[in-house]
Amino acid sequence: MAETLTLMPGQIDRPTLQHLYRDEATVRIDPGCKAAVDAAAEIVAAAAAGDEAVYGVNTGFGKLANTRISQEETARLQRNLILSHSAGVGEPLHRSIVRLMIILKMLSLGRGASGARWEVIDTLGQLLAKDVVPVVPSQGSVGASGDLAPLAHLTAVLIGEGEAWWQGEMVPGGEAMAAAGITPLALGPKEGLAMINGTQCSTALALAGLFRAKRLLKSALVTGALSVDATLGADTPFIEAIHTLRGHRGQIDVAAAQRNLLDGSDIRASHVDCSRVQDPYSIRCQPQVMGACLTLLRQSAETLHIEANAVTDNPLVIVADRAIYSGGNFHAEPVAFAADQIALALSEIGALSERRIALLVDPVMSELPAFLTPDPGVNSGFMAAEITAAALAAENKQRATPASIDSLTTSANQEDHVSMATHGARRLHDMADNLGRIVGIELLCAAQGVDFRKPLKTSTPLAAVMARLRAVVPELGEDRYMAPDIATAAEIVQSGGVVEAAGADLLPDLI
């Protein structure tokens, strides 16, 4: 049985968010929040029975906000909202993303400012506990007014509609709920709106992208250090004094990691007095470039941590005022900016890694055999692998174009500026796939280069990384079918095997 974590809305920390994404825990909202949730729901119920127009409670939605809805039609209003807005298209989001969406929505509703009943939060928790995973199409949200289509598909299952994954099969939502023993909800006043207004889809996608970027940045620090040794690079550019004088925390942390990774290398000690004055930028400027990427990821982590704890639907119930206020917390511009920052970092990490791969296969620059094969000519070695890395880096550069600066007016000009946060965050996963393969190719090339430096040895941490690789991918002699080697190396990178082998304590943390 999966563990059950008790979460306090507004207080979830960053490591817990990562744990919830990766380990599929079941959660519940702290029962102490129920009083605030109930109080807000009572205010909404009173508004639904009153004469004053309150958006989304007794009015239509968007451009139809001036259309009054009778108390008798409230339930139909909320149900129709979910059905009509279940208009997403494209491949379904991965179950880990959908489960994180559910958790984020529970946290938001649990703040007691949305007006939804405790029963809604409880039913969401039952989906997690019984592993009913709504089928949520990946396309259809512009990131304002909230992630309407994705969250509508999630909510459809709550009311016995839509589709869900149940015991490995895609089945009608009502069938999944019945099989799991969960009673579908009859939505009360504002509850449909509270469910689909919000940034939980874009935030879940961006958080997942951040978690992958964190691991990939650390892996690229390791392969970058391995490339330093493979190319007989200097460690002088990593000395602390250089980076302290500039003062950027990310740069300082990356330089410290490089020093730790290279400490004790016999290869480095063998060429301290060589004639080379300076290394190419892809070797020498790793702290400056990777440090800037680290800073971007830290900034986006802060934004997404705040958003994960936020209330992002509309209107909001302020219990202390016994009032309901219309605002715009559903606008996902902060998430869009964070996703753009992560995309920039993923692109630049890959761009630098690709340049090191190109350096390694160039015999003039690296002083290694051409294309890292012991018998160039009849063998092509890593020639095509470098081309693959260039192609992937180029793709990521194109995908790094900011999504947040785009906007298309929707809902008959009522929603006249949108964030595009959702697809801005969704692209991060393709970019992370590409980056994992680029870094995997660098791992293969750098390890091959270090092998050519025998009998000299690299540092203890980097030797452990090479041992992890060589356990599954042997040194390249005669040309062989290359694709499986790349796939295996990329999996070591994506799974965290590179970081684990080097020693996670040697590398800077992000969140």
> Annotated catalytic sites, by residue?
55
Looking from the CA of 8 toward its CB, the CA atoms found within 13 Å total 3
What is the distance of C-alpha 31 from the center of its chain?
A: 30
Retrieve residue 228's tokens.
Answer: 């330093």
Residue among 427, 28, 495 nearest 219 (CA): 495
Residue among 13, 43, 23 nearest 325 (CA): 43
Retrieve residue 342's tokens.
Answer: 């992560």
3-state secondary structure of 405: coil
Angle 116-339-385 (CA atoms, 0-180°, nearest 5)?
135
DSSP characters over 152-195: HHHHHHHTT-SEEEETTEEEEHHHHHHHHT-PPP---TTHHHHH
DSSP characters over 355-376: HHHHHHH-HHHH-S-GGG-SSB
Instruction: Please write down the HEC assignment for all residues of 190-229.
Output: CHHHHHHCCCHHHHHHHHHHHHHHHHHHHHHHHHHHHHHH
Residue 355 CB partners (closer than 8 Å, separation 6+): 280, 281, 282
Separation CA 445–CA 152 (nearest Å) = 47
Looking from the CA of 222 toward its CB, the CA atoms found within 13 Å total 37
3-state secondary structure of 271: coil
Phi, psi of 2 (to 5 degrees): -65, 150
Radius of gyration of the chain (CA): 26
Separation CA 203–CA 395 (nearest Å) = 24
Give the chain's largest Cα–Cα span.
86
Separation CA 390–CA 401 (nearest Å) = 18
